[in-house]
Amino acid sequence: MTQEKTDTITIKKETIVLSILRSDLVEIKETGDGIVFNLMGGLHLSLTELGMPLEVKRVIFNSVVSFKNVNLTIDLMNYAKPVTISPNK
């Protein structure tokens, strides 16, 4: 198994915690009213939140695109620190 195959992205919103392999994330998109995660198998996770600041969407997008070989935790309830990065063990 390659390093990329073991990297995870965990998405948290209130009591929902979704953990996926990075390789299962096809695309992440900023939208006018939130953010969308497109996953393998045609699964789409769409967050519609009109009050989400543009800066928060950009931090989430840039973190997913830029940081490789790490585990990311995206906390959609924490606008002060929406992304936490931890080393892949």
pLDDT in tens, 11-51: 999 999 999 999 999 999 999 999 999 999 999 999 999 99
Q: How confident is the model at residue 4 (pLDDT cuts 50, 70, 90)?
A: very low
Q: How confident is the model at residue 5 (pLDDT cuts 50, 70, 90)?
A: low
Q: Count structural domains, the chain.
A: 1
How far is 2 from 73, CA to CA, in rounded Å?
20
3-state secondary structure of 16: strand
Task: Report pLDDT for 1.
Answer: 43
The stretch 45-67 carries a mean pLDDT of 96
pTM over 0.75: yes
Domain that holds residue 50: 3-87
Percent of the chain clearing pLDDT 70 (strictly above): 94
How far is 87 from 75, CA to CA, in rounded Å?
17
